[in-house]
């Protein structure tokens, strides 16, 4: 494959038009709004996620990428992720997103060994599926971690426009202002290689909200 510059790959992966059903996700924002989160609190919510769930997700992706590159088993990565994701609603959502990502990867990199390995996993979560795509496309660990963080804040921002009365430029402003925190979170996890070192930073209120949201019948988003 011809060399593709990293920034172009990141544009491709981070594009909302990627057919992985990103529009069904609110990164927990819908549940938060149902429990009273206001538009003024959305930036703090983004920042809380970057300090907690995003680190677990980005750390999982980076360690999975390392193990794909070194042909080490992926099951310990999935087990570490699951032990750090106590909410079954959030595990289920992540696996549904993982399936969508794996379908896309199978079509783009049909010959990619990494893509085939992650697709064979029983219940491949989204960060591991992303790692498979990153390995196939030649995306490095730091870029992968940035992608996970960026995608999270952008998911919150675009969902906020459907859930709260907002000026779209304000939501984009929140994403812009969160970028230094995205970069810092990615920097923190980019060098990880051992599943035991994946951050386990809990977000208790997010977990409680996610469970209540999964039981709710009045929702726009899957999670």
Partner 1 sequence: MTILLPDRETARGTTLAVTPTDGRVHVRISTPGDPAAPCLRPMLIDSGARHARVALVPDGALLLAGDAVRVDVEVGPGIRLELVEPTGTVAFDMRGGDASWDVRLRLARDATVVWAGEPFVVASGARVRRSTVVDMEGGARLVLRETLVMGRHGERGGHLEQVWSAHGPGGVPVLVEEAVLDDRSDRPGILGGHRALGTVVALGVPVDPELCPEGRLDLEGGGTVWRGLAHEAHRAVPPEVWRAALTACPQNS
- 3-class state of residue 9 by DSSP: helix
Q: Are 17 and 150 in contact (CB under 8 A)?
A: no
Q: Does 45 bind partner 1 (CB under 8 A)?
A: yes
115, 38, 41, 130: which is closest to 81 by C-alpha? Answer: 130
Q: Does 204 bind partner 1 (CB under 8 A)?
A: yes
Q: Does 207 bind partner 1 (CB under 8 A)?
A: yes
Q: Does 208 bind partner 1 (CB under 8 A)?
A: yes
Site for partner 1 in 170-199 (CB under 8 A): 196-197, 199
Q: Are 16 and 156 in contact (CB under 8 A)?
A: no
Q: Does the CA dihedral 185-147-10-172 come out positive or negative?
A: negative
Per-position DSSP letters for 53-77, written without gaps between them? HHHHHHHHHHHHHHHHHTT--SHHH
Q: Does 4 bind partner 1 (CB under 8 A)?
A: no
- Of 5-13, 66-74, 86-94, 103-111, the window that binds partner 1 (rule: CB under 8 A) is 86-94
- Of 18-26, 65-73, 81-89, 145-153, the window that binds partner 1 (rule: CB under 8 A) is 81-89
Q: Does 48 bind partner 1 (CB under 8 A)?
A: yes
Residues that contact partner 1, how many (by CB under 8 A) = 38
Name which position in 18, 142, 164, 202 contacts partner 1 (CB under 8 A): 202
């Amino acid at each position: 494959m011809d060399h593709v510059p990293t920034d172009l790959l990141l544009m491709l992966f981070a594009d909302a038009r990627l057919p992985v059903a990103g529009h069904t996700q609110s990164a927990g924002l819908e549940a938060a709004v149902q429990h009273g989160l206001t538009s003024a609190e959305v930036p703090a919510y983004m920042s809380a996620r970057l300090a907690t769930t995003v680190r677990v997700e980005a750390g999982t992706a980076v360690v999975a990428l390392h193990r794909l590159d070194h042909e080490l088993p992926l099951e310990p990565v999935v087990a570490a992720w699951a032990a750090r994701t106590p909410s079954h609603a959030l595990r289920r959502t992540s696996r549904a997103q993982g399936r969508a990502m794996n379908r896309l990867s199978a079509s783009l990199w049909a010959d990619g060994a990494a893509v085939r390995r992650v697709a064979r996993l029983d219940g491949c979560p989204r960060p591991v599926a992303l790692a498979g795509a990153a390995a196939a496309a030649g995306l490095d660990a730091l870029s992968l971690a940035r992608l996970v963080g960026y995608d999270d804040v952008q998911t919150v921002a675009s969902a906020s426009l459907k859930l709260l009365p907002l000026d779209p430029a304000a939501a984009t402003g929140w994403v812009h202002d969160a970028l230094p925190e995205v970069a810092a979170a990615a920097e923190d996890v980019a060098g990880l290689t051992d599943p035991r070192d994946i951050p386990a930073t809990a977000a208790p209120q997010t977990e409680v909200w996610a469970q209540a949201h999964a039981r709710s019948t009045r929702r726009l988003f899957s999670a």
